[in-house]
Amino acid sequence: MPPITAHAVIGLTKSAAKEYGPKGIRVNAVLPGTIETPMVTTMVATGALDYAQSVEAIPLGRLGRTDEIASTVLWLCSPGASFISSRISPTTSTASLAPVAGP
């Protein structure tokens, strides 16, 4: 996600959380970064994405998996995250955007 788009998502998330929080509605965002998907596999195979460079930017040294992102979203929707709102949940590739508490 281009930085300008990520910042737009962050601003919208914080604004919506402030507006809808008093009504008991929680608003959060997940910015997943580069995830192992068929599209990313194709991008690497065609040279549109440099795998080594992508992995180098991630502190864990690997791309994320779709199930990891799904688990983050499920947790944010669960009772365990009932007091979490206006949070941006970046994955390690976008970790500089904001801190997050999680499972």
Please list the pLDDT of the chain residue by residue as tens digits (103 residues): 667 888 899 999 999 999 999 999 999 999 888 999 999 999 999 999 999 999 988 888 999 999 999 999 999 999 999 999 988 877 655 444 444 444 4
**How far is the first Cα of the chain from the last one, in angstroms, to the nearest whole number?**
24
pLDDT at 79: 94
- Name the pTM for this structure: 0.74
Cα-trace Rg, the chain: 15
- Please tell me the predicted confidence (pLDDT) of residue 1: 62
Question: Helix H segments across 3-65?
Answer: 3-20, 38-46, 51-56
Element (DSSP H or E) covering residue 71: helix 66-77
Q: Say if residue 91 is exposed, middle or buried (CB neighbours under 10 Å; 0-12, 13-18, 19+).
A: buried
The closest alpha carbon to 103, from 70, 76, 82, 85, belongs to 76
Place of tokens 């959380």: 17
List the CATH code of the domain at 3-94: 3.40.50.720
pLDDT on residue 92: 55
